[in-house]
Structures are given as C-alpha cells and as structure tokens.
Structure 1
Amino acid sequence: MSKRYPGRRLSWWRLTILVGVLGVLGFASVEGWRWFEDVQTAANSDPWTDGYVDVTTTPFYAFEEVSDTDLKNITLAFVVASKTDPCEPSWGGAYSLQQAGVEVDLDRRLARLRDLGGSAQVSFGGAANSDLAVGCEDSTKLEKAYGSVIERYETTTVDLDIEGDFLTDLPAIERQARAFASLQGERKTGDAPLDVWLTLPVAPTGLTDAGTDAVTAFLEAGVDLAGVNAMTMNYGDTAVAEKPFIDVITESLQQTHRQLGVLYGRQGIQLGSATLWSKLGATPMIGQNDVRAEIFTIADAQQLNAFSVEQGLERVSFWSINRDQTCAPNYPDVRTVSNSCSGVDQGDATFAAILAQNRPGTLDAVFGPGTTPEPTETDPAAADDPKTSPYPIWDENAAYPAESKVVWRHNVYQAKWWTQGDAPDNPVLQISESPWTLIGPVLPGETPVPVPTLAPGILPEWQKDATYVSGDRVMFLDVPYQARWWTQGDSPDASKVLPDSSPWRPLTATEIMSLQKTATPTPAP
C-alpha cells in the first residue's frame, strides 16, 4: 500500500514502464527529474471504470447482482433536494433516504453489492431536479445534508454532477464547494478520506467558461479534487458533422487536460502532464445520445478505452448501466433514447466490459487528499535552437501577421491573426482566446524551412518621395511589403518596431509564393 496515498495500491504495470524509461534517462537533467516526479505521482493510481445507475428509473436495475465478469464499480444517481424541503436530500425527488431504504430496498442492495466484492459511490445533482446547494442557503444545514448521505451509504467517493441551470449558478456552486471542503477536512486525518469528483459538460474545446468557474470555486474553497470527470456526450450536430465522434471526444479530453493545468497553475499548484491526466475522467453516453447525430458505438468504446489507458485517465464511466444492452426487436425506434437499452446492436459485447479493460481499480481504493505542487525548474539546455528549428524562434518584440509560423519551447505554432507579445503557450482557459494554434512538436532532424523570396523586379523598390495607397506593394531591403493605407515617406521597416501605427506590413509566405507564380517582373527603367 502507498503511504503517500492512503488506500491506494501501487500500479505495478506503470511502475515497470517508469523504471525502464528512467534507466534510459539516467536522471541526466532537471527536466528528467520533473518527468520522474510527475509520472511517479500518476503511477500511484489504479485506473478504474464505473457505470451510473439511475436509482429511480423503473424497472429497477439490479446493480447488486454482480458476477466475476460484471462491472463492480457503481455510481448511484442522483441525490437531489427534496421537493418539499430544499435542505433535505432525496433520490431524484421521489424518495427520501428512508423511503429508498424501504420502497427500493437500496441499503440492502448496496450491502449485497459490497458482499460480492463491488464498490459504490453516490452522485449528487444531475440534469433534472435541483441540487441541495441550489435552494439550501444555510451552510450548516447544507453540510449536514450532504454528510448524512455520505454516512448512510458509507461512501469514500462522491460524484458532483453539475450541469443545466446549476452550472451557471455560481453562488450555489460556491456553497457546495465550501460544504465539501469542510466534509473533506473532517475526514482528512481519519481512516476514510473523502474523494470528490466534479462531473462537468464539455465542448470540443474543453470545459465551458461556467465549467472552469466551477473548478476554480472548488479549488479556492480548499477542496482537494480527486479529478474532473468530463461528460463526453451531446456536443451538438455541428461537432460530429466535421469529424468522427470518437475524435471529438478525445479532442475535448485533451483540451480539458490543458485547461486543468491552467486552473491549477492559477492556484499556485504546478502539475505535470501525467498527474493532470490522472485527475481526469471521461463519461460517454453509450449508444444513441440525446443529440440524434451522436451515436457512441462499440468501436468508439474500444478506442476510448485504449486512449484512457495510454494517457493514464484515472476514471472512465458511462451513462448508464441500465442501458448496456441491445434493444429488443419490439422497440420501435432505436434513434429515440431509451432508459433500458443502448439503441445500437451490441452483439455479445457490453460497453461495461470494453471500457473496463486494463482498468483494474475500485472505488474503495481512494486517492485521498494529497495534491501537491511539482518542480517547475526549466533545464537551460532545453532551449530552442535556431539551427534545428524549422521556423524562427518566437520573439515577444516581433509582430506576426496571420499564418506566420514560429517555434516556441520545441513546438511549432501558427498565428490565427496578427499578434505581438502574446506567447504561443500563454495559459489561456479557452483556446479561442489565443492568437496561436499549436501545430505539433519540432521533429528530430528538422532544419530551418527556407524563407520564400521574390525574384528581382517583381515588385518595385520603395521610394521615399513616392505616394502609396492601400494595397500597393513594394520591396525594401529585399523584403516585400504591402501598404495598409495612404502613405508617403514612411519607411516600411518601421513596421517591425511599431506595427500598429505603421502603414506597412510584410507579406506572408503564402502571398510571396502566390506572387512568384503569377507576377511578371517589372522592366528595368
């Protein structure tokens, strides 16, 4: 057992890989040590797969009847506020905790699940009804309400599903965050520390602004998040029309991974890539999604599982176990979402079995509070080298028109619009805020890409006394420029120093190559 992470078994398969790579690295640099700290932290995790069960959906799903081949990690959904008392927990607004114990036999079934080697967590919130934090404004009562659920079901892991109107109710989210910070603090030194997962909707670009605000609220309240679980579903018709569904899912996870690094960094907590992946979960909606164009297939499940194992996602879940079967022949329209079947032909396969491959962990193997900053020193020897970089190294004093390519920290970036002073890897939460697009890493063996030039005479030389209007093009010191507005006597090279006020801009590589193909050299006078 790991002493640093109570209750967590060391993942030996990750450790074996770690030791082998370290033998190659030989701890030769600061960067190597940073990588070791990062991967060692992630290696202390046991990735797991769970499935949601809607407790109130009829016919009731027998989640407790698990065999050796069944998924044993269950997320019971959803605890929300009672319809008669905003500070009283209920299951889906239909049963009080006591009523669920009698009418649904929930307590006994949960005990049976655990007797058979299963584990369970409780999910609060969801798309329907109201979370306790929305209407219960008394902090003492709110904490007591959440605590009563945790105590009754003896769970060491909770899932907070924040979506719908709740997602934009920041005061309610902040109340929830303070309540769980207190509950987690009470259990920090005990035998049963409390894992807190935030389940949030994502777009292809990652978490929405409201989602990043929610994560920030929890971090600022002092909650040590076990992770953020991305709802990889219902992106919209436009997203899946442009690329395969699984590509949209993996892209959204990569962007959420990037955003988590920014969010923790803003709290003064620097985490490595592997650690951030271990704080990430993915929850697809199996089969037919609510968006009719989105269908998560068995093949998608196989690819998501492979991605999760390769990247080291701590958690993979799915909505829902109730639906993990092919619809019966008498189900009239499989494109209409059902609560009891997936809407796709699964054959003998189950989404649960596929998503759980190579993910042996259980909900009882808790992570426990323990997120700590990691080393951030940079190895001076790792600086970008102009001799091996395909494009110029980014310079904060230089101006870059749209489509310009630069190298920064061993990656190639392309400008989306004119920019100056904006670092390509500036930690923005939404990728749309950055003027740069990451193209990919600098590859081994690359050398500077030749800069396109114009043959003599294609453009006239700039003349100090000449008058130029918008669109006119000239050569100055072997560099082609285009006038942005009327000008006379303004040297084109001033655009390098004062790009905003200069009437000139240098031509892009695309414009230069176009001129090479179409222009006729200007006759010599």
Structure 2
Amino acid sequence: MHAAAHRHRALAVAAGLGLLLPPLLAAGPEAAASAAPAPLAAGSMAAAPYEYLGWGDPQKPADVMAATGVKWFTLAFVLSDGGCNPKWDGSRALTGGSDQAAINAIRAKGGDVVVSVGGWSGNKLGEKCSSASALAGAYQKVIDAYRLKALDIDIEDTEFSNATVRKRVVDALKIVKSANPGIVTYVTMGTTPSGPDANGKDLIKKGAAAGLANDGWVIMPFDFGGHSGTMGAATVSALDGLKAAVKSAYGYSDDTAYRHIGVSSMNGRTDDAGETVTTGDFQTILDYARRHHIARFAFWAVNRDRSCGSGGSAGDSCSGVPQAPYAFTKIVVQYAG
C-alpha cells in the first residue's frame, strides 16, 4: 500500500532493521450509534511528531524541545519479538534501556510521548498475536511500561491488507479503551489523494461496527506515485475523503467527524522520486487543522527535520530540501488542537 508502505520500507532498508507502520463490512446504524465519540485529544498532544530512535542519527529529544517548544513526541516503533510480545524494533526491551531513558528525559522537561506500534517492516503484533485479547495484552504491556496517555497503531503492509487482522486490531483497541479509561488512541494508515482506499475504509467501518470510540483516524498523505498539484492540496483532498469516510461509518456530524481525523505528513523529499512536501504545504495543513480542529497533526520525522548539507540527499537523517533546522517541527508545534 503506497502511502504508508514506502515511508518505512525505504527507511527500513537503509537502517537494516525491521519497523512497523488494513473486503467490506458495513456498520449498521445501531452499531455506529453505540460508538460514542471518543474523548478528544487536546493541546500539545495533538502535535506530536515522530522521532525514531533506532536510526537516522536521532537528535536528543530534550534538545528538540528546547529548540522548538514541542512537548510531545510519537516514538517509533514497537514490534513483535517473533511472538505476541512487544519490543522496540522487535529486539530492545521496553524497560531499562535507551528508549526508556529518552522517555524519562522528555518527561523531565515537561513533555510526554505517544508510543507507535507498527510500521512497514518487521514482525507485526497484529499478526503474531492470534486473538484480539492476546493483542490487547501486548498493547497493554506497552501502556503499562510507560503509563501511557496515548497509543498509536501504525497499520501497514500485511497487517493492513488482511481483513482478519484489521478486525483483530480494532477489537484489541476496544479492549484497551475499556481497560484504560481516558487513554487516547490513534490508528494511522496510508491513503490515496482522495482519501482512504478500500482497506482503509473497511478498517474505519470495522471500528464503527465494533463500537470502537477511536480518537483519531490518521492518514499519511504522501508516496502517491504521481499526482497533480501541490502536496498541501493533495493532503487537504485526502483529509476531506477521510472525514467523509469517518462521518459515513460512525454517523457523526461534520464537526465531530473532523475532530476524529488526523494527518501524519512527511517533510521534504518523500520516498517517491520527485515528490516534495514543503514548509508551505505544512502551513496549508496547519491552516486546515486549525479550521476543523482535527485530532492530530504529526509528521515523519524529526530525524529528517534538517538540511542534508553539501551533496546530501533525503533519507533517514535529513529532508533533502534547503531548510533551517526544525523548520517543519516549528510549524507543527503551532497546532493546539
């Protein structure tokens, strides 16, 4: 699936390690009605750019906070260790290591984190856990390890394309929401320029049919494989399509539907040759987010939010476009929900 796929596939190949980032069931009106709108993520949690601590010469989160004012990060990625057990990149323990140290440092500076489970490559918990209850248990281990207020499920590749797994993820998240009152959940997926594809629409419908009060259905509007116009305009079109899908599935009003969608863009040169997301495009997204009070404005990734220097090219540690350090983060941090 293009939008989510290329982002992590290209970066996973460069890093040489596994990363993470869903047939149609219609939601009946009574099922949709039972999925009362989720509590809305407000304030700085809504602006939580991704940082990946496993590659790309990651900046110290505390330094990013000091330079930009950002308070929240989405830290990626938690994967399966080969079974139904979560580890960072499928190999690093949740507690006691460098990842926990980074989270502690963020919190010491008054910030907090969303942890992202998923991505393009590697062993995926949604597939390795054989039931919704087992998958919810794996998610719960992550929540408990860090006393999380928010969890992001970045559903890509075979997790996204398998209808059984899509249903398992939705059902697991419903268990998590019940067991952790007030926790904010995001489900992040790829998209077309006109909105979610058939798998994405089905995932949203499955959520509504299950009564999942998800806080944010989030799309990654890039790696389109060619389109006309700016990436800002393409993102607006994709978000409008997402809003329509969420409104239809859940029976929300327009305003409520907008407040339950989100965007995770990619700064600078994307994985598609010739595709560039500019700071101007980010400003377009910010304007849209403010106008409609969407649930989330994030991007991939803080690691890339700097110029590549002489002779450099876009990759895991720079954007591939001329820019001041943290130019994209400084736009995202202006969003307050």
**TM-score (ref. length: structure 2):** 0.82
1:217–1:150 CA distance, 2 compared to 1 (3 A): same
Counterpart-to-counterpart distance in 1, 2:280 and 2:322: 11
Q: Deviations over 1:178-198 (max 9, x none)?
A: 22211211223xxxx211111
SS of 2:299's equivalent? coil
Match of 1:360 in 2: 336
Match of 2:22 in 1: none
SS of 1:95's equivalent? coil
Match of 1:442 in 2: none
Match of 2:72 in 1: 73
Q: Given residue 237 of structure 2, which amino acid in structure 1 is its aligned partner?
A: E
Matches within 5 A, 1:325-340: 325-331=306-312, 334=313, 337-340=314-317
Matches within 5 A, 1:48-197: 48-65=46-63, 66-67=65-66, 69-82=68-81, 85-98=82-95, 101-102=96-97, 105-188=98-181, 193-197=182-186
CA shift, 1:42, in A, is 10
Q: Deviations over 1:233-278 (max 9, x none)?
A: 11111x1xx222221111111111111111112xxxxx22121111
CA shift, 1:171, in A, is 1.0
Match of 1:345 in 2: 322
1:234–1:61 CA distance, 2 compared to 1 (3 A): same
1:182–1:347 CA distance, 2 compared to 1 (3 A): closer
Q: Structure 2 regions of 5+ residues with no counterpart? A: 1-37
Contact 2:219 2:263 in 1 (8 A): yes
* Structure holding more helix per residue: 2
The more displaced of 88-97 and 256-265 is 88-97
Counterpart-to-counterpart distance in 2, 1:355 and 1:338: 20
Contact 1:46 1:314 in 2 (8 A): no
SS of 2:300's equivalent? coil
Q: Structure 1 regions of 5+ residues with no counterpart? A: 1-40, 266-270, 362-525
Counterpart-to-counterpart distance in 1, 2:206 and 2:76: 23
Counterpart-to-counterpart distance in 2, 1:328 and 1:246: 25
Contact 2:283 2:331 in 1 (8 A): yes
Q: Given residue 55 of structure 1, which amino acid in structure 2 is its aligned partner?
A: L
Equivalent in 218, 226, 229 of residue 243 of structure 1? 229
Contact 1:87 1:135 in 2 (8 A): yes
CA shift, 1:64, in A, is 3.4
SS of 2:188's equivalent? strand
Q: Deviations over 1:423-475 (max 9, x none)?
A: xxxxxxxxxxxxxxxxxxxxxxxxxxxxxxxxxxxxxxxxxxxxxxxxxxxxx
Matches within 5 A, 1:508-523: none
1:76–1:43 CA distance, 2 compared to 1 (3 A): closer
Q: Deviations over 1:346-395 (max 9, x none)?
A: 136610111222x236xxxxxxxxxxxxxxxxxxxxxxxxxxxxxxxxxx
Q: Deviations over 1:299-324 (max 9, x none)?
A: 11122211211222221000000100
SS of 1:281's equivalent? strand
CA shift, 1:344, in A, is 0.5
Match of 1:208 in 2: 197
Does 2:211 correspond to 1:222? yes
**TM-score (ref. length: structure 1):** 0.54
Q: Given residue 190 of structure 2, which amino acid in structure 1 is its aligned partner?
A: P
1:220–1:318 CA distance, 2 compared to 1 (3 A): same
1:259–1:340 CA distance, 2 compared to 1 (3 A): same
Equivalent in 245, 265, 275 of residue 284 of structure 1? 265
Q: Deviations over 1:486-519 (max 9, x none)?
A: xxxxxxxxxxxxxxxxxxxxxxxxxxxxxxxxxx
Contact 1:42 1:275 in 2 (8 A): no
**Which structure has the larger Rg?**
1
Counterpart-to-counterpart distance in 2, 1:140 and 1:165: 20
Matches within 5 A, 1:435-446: none
Counterpart-to-counterpart distance in 2, 1:352 and 1:180: 29
Match of 1:262 in 2: 248
Counterpart-to-counterpart distance in 2, 1:142 and 1:314: 25
Counterpart-to-counterpart distance in 1, 2:40 and 2:210: 27
Contact 1:304 1:355 in 2 (8 A): no
Counterpart-to-counterpart distance in 2, 1:349 and 1:131: 31
Q: Given residue 294 of structure 1, which amino acid in structure 2 is its aligned partner?
A: E
Q: Given residue 67 of structure 1, which amino acid in structure 2 is its aligned partner?
A: A
Counterpart-to-counterpart distance in 2, 1:349 and 1:285: 13
Give the fraction of aligned pairs with identical amino acids, expressed as a percent.
25
SS of 1:123's equivalent? strand
